[in-house]
Amino acid sequence: MVCGTGYMVAHGVSAGAPTTEQLMHYGADNAGSVLINGEWWRIVTAMFVHVGILHLATNMWCLWNLGLLAEPLLGSTGVVAVYILTGAAGNLLSTLAGWAKFSHDWASYHAAGGLDLTAVFPPGAGASGAVFGIAGALIILLKSNRLPVPPSELKRLRKSVIYFAALNLVLGFSINIGTRFIGSGINIDNYAHVGGFACGLLFAAPLVPRIGSLRQVFVDRLRVAVVMVVGLLVLFGFYLAQLPR
């Protein structure tokens, strides 16, 4: 993610305020590009593109703190799997929400001769869906009684993750309400947050934390989690592909 933003800046993209066209050029997604142009790869690439340095820094700070908790429980492979799959889940839900909200506007705009998808469908970018996904997985994993950590400390850690997720979800929806009220401002992709968070809960459900369990048990359950979530995301993507254009 840092490398991706650095690459964009090195190629003339503003570090503070990249344009919509620049974001889309480097892999951001929107419902129109995915569902009309069939650019499904954007579901993955969008989580590595950020809307400026501040956006990147806040996501990296959250990812660093949650990753310190997640890596001992999931291992490096597990953290990467959670990041990619929950980030994709968030972007798929965001695509559905964007299509439901703006497809009528696109139909009217296109009928009038408009061709620019970005003029109707706002771009989505960032790692926050995956960050919420890791938070969701931690909420499940930190409930385990197999961890060699005092129960009071586990309870404290789990509460802090729950508060993080809840406060950021409330903040995201509040910012969007304020933006609509004043007619300008930041738009937060809350559907990506919700989708990533829900996928993180689902991903962690069949897992036993790596600490306190046999290595092979963990590996087998991680495979089950990955296969289960991949299957559900493929089905969700197939559903999106069948939406009327």
pLDDT digits (tens, 9 = 90+) for 201-235: 999 999 877 766 778 888 899 999 999 999 999 99
pLDDT digits (tens, 9 = 90+) for 117-128: 999 999 999 999
pLDDT tier, 3 (very low <50, low <70, confident <90, very high otherwise)? low
Please list, in sequence order, all residues whose beta carbon lies within 8 angstroms of the beta carbon of residue 35, skipping any fewer than 6 positions away.
Answer: 95, 99, 240, 241, 243, 245
Please list, in sequence order, all residues whose beta carbon lies within 8 angstroms of the beta carbon of residue 101, skipping any fewer than 6 positions away.
Answer: none
Supply the pLDDT for residue 217: 85
Supply the pLDDT for residue 148: 79
Predicted TM-score of the model (pTM): 0.92
pLDDT above 70 covers what percent of the chain? 95
Mean pLDDT of 190-197: 97
Report which of residues 24 and 145 the model is more confident about: 24
Supply the pLDDT for residue 4: 58
Does position 93 have pLDDT exceeding 60, yes or no? yes
pLDDT digits (tens, 9 = 90+) for 76-91: 999 999 999 999 999 9
Instruction: Round the average pLDDT of the chain to a whole number and report it.
Output: 90
Q: What does the buried/exposed string (b/e) look like for 115-150 if buried means 16 or more CB atoms within 10 Å of the residue's CB?
A: eebbebbbbbbbbbbbbbbbbbbbbbbbebeebebe
Does position 157 have pLDDT exceeding 90, yes or no? yes
Supply the pLDDT for residue 1: 61
Please list, in sequence order, all residues whose beta carbon lies within 8 angstroms of the beta carbon of residue 28, skipping any fewer than 6 positions away.
Answer: 42, 45, 46, 49, 123, 124, 125
| Range with lowest mean pLDDT among 11-25, 146-160, 213-227 | 11-25
